Structure 1
Amino acid sequence: MKAFFEWIEDLFVDGLFAPFDFFREMQNWWTANTINWLFVVIGSAAMVYWLIQLRLFDQRGEEDTSITAHSYL
């Protein structure tokens, strides 16, 4: 079992997270965090899209807002 968990460690440390070592060694903070900024931009765009869709759904009146809309209520 120990060998299995060591294999998982090697997979992630030496394999999957190896590209992040390149960013860790950079001197410029902005460049080193490009992956983080990319995730922030994608997450923000997804949230804006989701909120726009919720607003459109609410404006069409398709939502059941009665107190018995869900069985657990």
Structure 2
Amino acid sequence: MKAFFEGIQTLFVDYLFLPFDFFRSTELSNWWGANTLNFIFMIICFVALVYWTLQLKLHQSNNEENQDTTAHSFLK
């Protein structure tokens, strides 16, 4: 059983985390390059937030949203 968990450790530490080691090593020489992954995640979250708000606005304008306080049984 110990070999199984050591195999998982080897998979993640030696192979799957290599890109993160590269970004960590470039942090002092190039801050923008080291934070590229963070910027990509921020852009993805921003696009998802804009899409979500546009969908909420679409349902609001079509009067499809039930905003009555008794819409959920636990709010009665």
Amino acid at match of 1:35: L
Amino acid at match of 2:18: A
Q: Distance in 2 between matches of 1:19 and 1:32?
A: 10
TM-score (norm 2): 0.82
Deviation at 1:41, TM superposition (A): 0.7
TM-score (norm 1): 0.85
Name the structure 2 match of 1:34. 36
**Structure 2, gaps ≥5 residues long:** none
Larger CA deviation: 58-67 vs 31-40: 58-67
| Residue correspondences, number | 73
Name the structure 1 match of 2:5. 5
CA RMSD of superposed structures (Å)? 1.3
Seq. identity, % = 58
User: Helix, strand or coil for the counterpart of 1:63?
Assistant: coil
- Alpha-carbon displacement from aligned partner over 1:28-64 (angstroms, at most 9, x marks no partner): 1111110111110111111111111111111111012
**Structure 1, gaps ≥5 residues long:** none
* Runs of 4+, deviation exceeding 6 Å: none
